[in-house]
Structure 1
Amino acid sequence: MFMSPKTSLFLGASCVAAIASVGSIFELSSGQPELGTLATGIILAISVPSVVLFFLAAVRDARESS
């Protein structure tokens, strides 16, 4: 199966957003986030839906290109 560059880009963005989500959760659970609670919460609130959206976009693009 061949992946288009756009599919790879979507998967990479999904991985980066997932890493940001996990990092934000760990920072918030530590009690003293380095960027502050508000900034870390905003990062978490943006990155969680981004993981899902980028992953679904990658799957959709892969299905269309095959």
Structure 2
Amino acid sequence: MIMTPKSGILLGGSCVAAIAAVGCVFELTSGNPEYGTLVTGIILAVSAPLTVICFLAAVADARANNQ
């Protein structure tokens, strides 16, 4: 499977969003988030779905350019 620049950028975005989501989970479970519970929760609510969306878009782009 060949990776295009677009699918590479989407895959990189998915990795960054996943790291942010995991970090938010750790911050929220620590009991005292550095940026506050509301901001950390918003970041988690945005980054978790963004991880899946970017990953699926990267796979779809790579498959479309492979055929």
Question: Structure 1: which 5+ runs fail to align?
Answer: none
Identity of aligned residues (%): 64
Q: TM-score normalised to the size of structure 1?
A: 0.98
In the alignment, what sits opposite 2:7?
7
Instruction: Output aligned runs, 1:11-30, within 5 Å.
Output: 11-30=11-30
Structure 1, residues 5-30: CA drift from partner, whole Å, max 9, x if none?
Answer: 00000000000000000000000000
In the alignment, what sits opposite 1:38?
38
Off by >3 Å, runs of 4+ in structure 1: none
| Residue-pair matches, total | 66
Question: Structure 2: which 5+ runs fail to align?
Answer: none
Corresponding letter in the other structure for 2:19: I
Q: For 2:20 and 2:63, how far apart are their aligned partners in 1?
A: 27
